[in-house]
Structure 1
């Protein structure tokens, strides 16, 4: 396999140049490389351009090209007149690491793959690509539709409901497209569907009442194809972000929406919130962004469909708050008054967001999104990480950032070994 260490060395030198951290020997080394050819000189000029770096760094965080450049300039002090810096925070280290990776990656592409652009660089390096819009829809009759392979447009009809798949990875339940014959049925038939995302998958659903659900990797949502009773209820395993439509059963009575997950029920009317209920996490987290929700701790499991009357405790959340239901035999329901909303919904916005996050938690997120298995060799490093990384980058770029913080990895197929 090609040795790319030289390109990463040059990337490191160029990053240090932008930050004003070159030692005298490193300055001479970079100057010698630039002087070797006109191609190297042109590459250096291109890789130190504001527009080039701003566009590439935008993949590591939110905002447009100009905002991305301003973030790196703030951390490195890179302006038109000065290139001095002081990086003293973990976030600064991650931004600096992103700078090295972007420059090195552009070097590899320009030098090695410029003449063979038909295949993505990540595939040529046997890299693992990020997840995408993947899910399986299980209908009421137990038949399954692989949404990865299904063509866009109508994919099924159930009673008076038409199910459509859109080009942007969304499943829509639409009553307005029903035929006159099916709509004239006197007794509506209620059927239950389940959408399941694999590891490395995500999908969106517009429910029959117009509510929107974003489903994260390794998750499932069970719901009726039509909400008929005085309440609306779904069952969640894994993680999902909800935007619930406000519906009234009468002019003065609102119809509640309930999300049942392991050990709790969340009751809402019309609101935006996120539930993380993965079984391998330390707690179930319900984070409210807009509106009001009631989180009820119960002794029932998901399959019971509703609280069993043995309610242990409940919390009313206001926007910006988070309820945490600890796992174990004696779970506690705790209120976090000031939750990090960006961190809670970063996955929905296409990011990993780490805020004093330990390595095992990071690796669980990586395992779900890249569909890999994770093991540890030796003691698990006791480290905390801060920063944002795009979920659209190949796995190797995640590794490069973590390795610059002292974490080592070995990749064998789809098995990652973290080595201390």
Structure 2
């Protein structure tokens, strides 16, 4: 294909009009490194001139999940082979800044790296048993007791009701740079993001409300239906709210360094209560609980909220400061800015959780959003 042909396909891709064959052609074209550079520049210029454009990433996710590939359009590109390249591309969408370097003096953007100890996150957690002992769980390490098994990536509890009226609780703590999942005795599956902690019963009492507590952090819940447990409801407690469900999938984000708790409903129905008000969420809705007595609700792009569970981080109009906060948890690092104005620069894009931090920072530097960066042990300075 000629350069002119590819420009037309890229334009159709940006506007969600590309066909399946055009998407495949674009993927093959991007196999050449020099073409990837052209692709980046085209996207950067486009978003700088059209800052109101935002990909419909939820539609992308749904289209990708649809098995009928004959009707898929470019919206599915969030998860197509193109993003083996574009996963590191963060597109500039903020008004007020123009970071293309055409009229700027050339600066030395060589990064300074001193004893880089920043590692990609992995499966790891600490399990605290009811009697108080703790076990470190990690990828490749098995752990087994009478009522649970762990393969180093998840814990699976035996599906038996409690035999004693006194419930025994376990705690699962995920450190920065970690992730883990747990399957409770009732079959409910919970995925935990970095820097999170949850408390749950080793076994539930038959017929009684099944209750767990998200102490802090982020967790995705796939709850087994109450009809399978003699009508027993399922509740997720937190010190700022309580979520009651009958059988559904939802995400709760309640980090200690954030002032709000975000509950996102994927499917089913949940009631969110802060003690003063209760709201019932519909799929694709998110509740926001804070200091106010009122609970805010809004429609959201589900994929951006739950993509972490699928191995990627999806950002839509997020500030560089917010993005770095998310990455800090996964890479277990600290980030500071030499220039406070950089904190508010906003991006749209997708990052793979298996990428090295240098790859991400090099992309942001290449696109001109920062001049350079410095890594010293587990600390990063953006310049």
**Structure-2-length-normalised TM-score:** 0.69
1:134 to 124, 135, 138: 124
Q: Which has the larger radius of gyration?
A: 1
1:144 correspondence with 2:121: no
What does residue 324 of structure 1 align with? 288
Deviation of residue 347 (structure 1)? Answer: 0.7
Pairing of 1:15-94 with structure 2 (within 5 A): 70=26, 86-87=42-43, 88-89=46-47
Name 1:55's counterpart in structure 2.
none
Query: 1:393 and 2:383 equivalent?
Result: no
- Structure 2 distance, partners of 1:147, 1:99, is 33
In the alignment, which of 149, 174, 179 is matched to residue 164 of structure 1? 149
Q: Which residue of 2 aligns with 1:225?
A: 202
User: Partners of 2:361 and 2:25 in 1: how far apart?
Assistant: 23
Kindly indicate whether the alpha-carbon contact (under 8 Å) linking 1:283 and 1:324 is maintained by their aligned counterparts in 2.
yes
Deviations 1:355-374 (A, max 9, x none): 00011111110110000012
SS in 2 for 1:217: coil
Closer, same or farther in 2 for the Cα pair 1:401/1:208, shift >3 Å?
same
- Distance in 1 between the 2:123 and 2:218 partners? 15
Relative to structure 1, is the Cα distance of residues 387 and 149 closer, same or farther in structure 2, using a 3 angstrom cutoff? Answer: closer
Residue in 2 that maps onto 1:191: 168
| TM superposition shift of 1:166 | 2.2
- TM (normalized to structure 1)? 0.64
CA distance in 1 between partners of 2:276 and 2:88 (Å): 50
SS of residue matched to 1:347: helix
- Report how many aligned residue pairs link the two structures: 304
Aligned to 1:378: 339
| C-alpha deviation, 1:258, in angstroms | 0.7
Give the gaps of 5 or more residues in structure 2.
Answer: 8-21, 49-53, 56-77, 90-112
Identify which of 370, 374, 381 aligns with 1:410.
374
Q: Distance in 2 between matches of 1:332 and 1:354?
A: 27
Report the counterpart of residue 234 of structure 2 in structure 1: 257
CA deviation after TM superposition for structure 1 residue 98, in Å:
4.5
Shift of 1:376: 2.5
Q: Would you say the 8 A contact 2:373–2:380 is kept in 1?
A: yes
C-alpha distance in 1, partners of 2:323/2:88?
A: 19
Cα shift readout 1:117-172 (whole Å, capped 9, x = no counterpart): xxxxxx9x957331010100000111000002783252x23xxxx110125x1100
Aligned residue for 2:295?
Answer: 333
Counterpart check, 1:238 vs 2:221: no
Partner of 2:263: 286
Contact 2:140 / 2:151 at 8 angstroms: preserved in 1? no
Contact 2:122 2:139 in 1 (8 A): no
Partner of 1:315: 279
Paired with 1:384 and 1:258, the residues of 2 have a C-alpha distance of 36
| 2: CA distance, partners of 1:343 / 1:248 | 31
CA distance in 2, matches of 1:199, 1:392: 15
| Residues 1:320 and 1:149: Cα distance change in structure 2 (over 3 Å) | closer
List per-residue Cα deviations over 1:49-106 (Å, max 9, x = no partner): xxxxxxxxxxxxxxxxx968746869x9x99xxx9x95302689x989956989xxxx
Secondary structure of 1:295's counterpart equals: strand
Q: CA RMSD in A?
A: 3.9
Deviations 1:268-293 (A, max 9, x none): 01000000111222421110011000
Judged with a 3 Å threshold, the aligned counterparts in structure 2 of structure 1 residues 240 and 250 are, in CA distance, closer, same or farther, namely closer
Instruction: Report which structure shows greater RCO (CA 8 Å, sep ≥6).
Output: 2
Deviations 1:215-239 (A, max 9, x none): 0000011001111162011111100
Q: Residues 256 and 410 from structure 1, CA distance in 2 versus in 1: closer, same or farther, beyond 3 angstroms?
A: same
